[in-house]
Structure 1
Amino acid sequence: MRRRFVIEAVMVATYGQLLVPSQPVDFVVPYSTILELYEMLESSEPVMDSAEDDAHVKGKIKELIAFFEDPLNRKKIERALQVPWRESSPLILNELIQFTVIHAVDNAQYGEFFDPIETEVLLTALKLNIPVLSDQFEFQDRLVEGEVPVQVYDIEDYDFAVEEGLTAAEWESIRDI
């Protein structure tokens, strides 16, 4: 069974270890985070602190954009974009990794605490009842402070999340306590 996680597209490009899971993974990516990849590539602002790391990550961003622009993948994404909250058919990267692009819509429900991208990530997690993978401690803290009922794993805990993370049913039972 594939473990599913909501994640921003740039994190997949930034953290190479995400692409070598021990078990099959489905990364659910809000479409707006794919658009962010183009913005990051065109921006003069560095993505990473060191010039070498920045060049490497921008190369990975280009590879990820090329993957999403592949004609078959592009067609699957375009179908999903026709209806709010529709998921694309799986975009297969390899035997262990697939992506699902979702046409998430920010409804401003959490607009006071989160920016539009963060809102789409957490609403996707709520709607699909799957955990979020994030490297942003402030975002994770705001989820806890705002008592948002989503499960979140830090990127550093990715291996644990894939191998031993809570199932949706286990998370529901804890959340209801």
Structure 2
Amino acid sequence: MRRRFVIEAVMVATYGQLLVPGHPVDYVLPYSTILELYDMKDGNDPIMDDPKDDTYVRQKIGELIAFFEDPLNRKKIERALQAPWRESSPLLLSDTIQFTVVHALDNAQYGEYFDPIETELLLTASKLELPLLSDQFEFQDKLIEAEVPVQVYDIEDFEFAVEEGISPQVWDN
């Protein structure tokens, strides 16, 4: 069974362990997070503290952009963008990794507390009833503080999330 997680596209490029999961994974990406890749790749702000790591991550971001721009993948993404909350057909990266792109829309439900990308991640996770992967402690703290009904895993707990996870039934209690 393929585990599904809502995640920002840049995290897949940043964290190498996400590209070698122990079990099949489907990364669900709000489309706006793919658009962020272009800004990050060409931006002047460092992505990583170490210059060598920064260069490497920018290279990985470029590879991910090329993957999404592949004509077949581009066509699948464009179909998803035709209607709000529509999911793309699976974009296969390998035998164990696939991406699903969602045309998420920020409806300002959490707009006062979260930025637009965070809001789209939350709404996607909530609407599709999927856990969220994040590396941002402040974001995770805000989720808890705002009592947002979304399950979140820290990137450091990725292997646990893939192998075992916490079922929604346990989480709701």
Deviations 1:107-156 (A, max 9, x none): 01001110000000010000000000000000000000000000000000
Q: What's the counterpart of residue 95 of structure 1?
A: 95
Task: Spell out the pairing of 1:49-60 with structure 2 (5 A cutoff).
Answer: 49-60=49-60
RMSD: 0.8
Deviations 1:63-98 (A, max 9, x none): 000000000000000000000100000000010000
Task: Spell out the pairing of 1:101-112 with structure 2 (5 A cutoff).
Answer: 101-112=101-112
Deviations 1:31-74 (A, max 9, x none): 00000000111211111111100000000000000000000000
Task: Spell out the pairing of 1:52-131 with structure 2 (5 A cutoff).
Answer: 52-131=52-131
1-structure distance, mates of 2:47, 2:107: 28
Q: What's the counterpart of residue 171 of structure 1?
A: 168
Aligned partner of residue 4 in structure 1, secondary structure: strand
Aligned partner of residue 159 in structure 1, secondary structure: helix
2-structure distance, mates of 1:35, 1:111: 20
Q: 1:45 to 1:147 in 2, by over 3 A?
A: same
Question: What TM-score, normalized to structure 1?
Answer: 0.96
1-structure distance, mates of 2:77, 2:131: 22
1-structure distance, mates of 2:68, 2:145: 35
Amino acid at match of 1:72: L
In the alignment, does 2:39 pair up with 1:46?
Answer: no
1-structure distance, mates of 2:125, 2:169: 13
2-structure distance, mates of 1:174, 1:40: 34
Q: What residue ranges of structure 2 are gaps of 5+ in the alignment?
A: none
State the Cα distance separating 1:173 from its structure 2 match.
4.9
2-structure distance, mates of 1:47, 1:173: 36
1-structure distance, mates of 2:131, 2:114: 17
Q: What residue ranges of structure 1 are gaps of 5+ in the alignment?
A: none
2-structure distance, mates of 1:154, 1:117: 17
Aligned partner of residue 126 in structure 1, secondary structure: helix
Amino acid at match of 1:144: I
Question: What TM-score, normalized to structure 2?
Answer: 0.98
Aligned partner of residue 5 in structure 1, secondary structure: strand
State the Cα distance separating 1:18 from its structure 2 match.
0.2
Aligned partner of residue 98 in structure 1, secondary structure: strand
Q: 1:174 to 1:44 in 2, by over 3 A?
A: closer
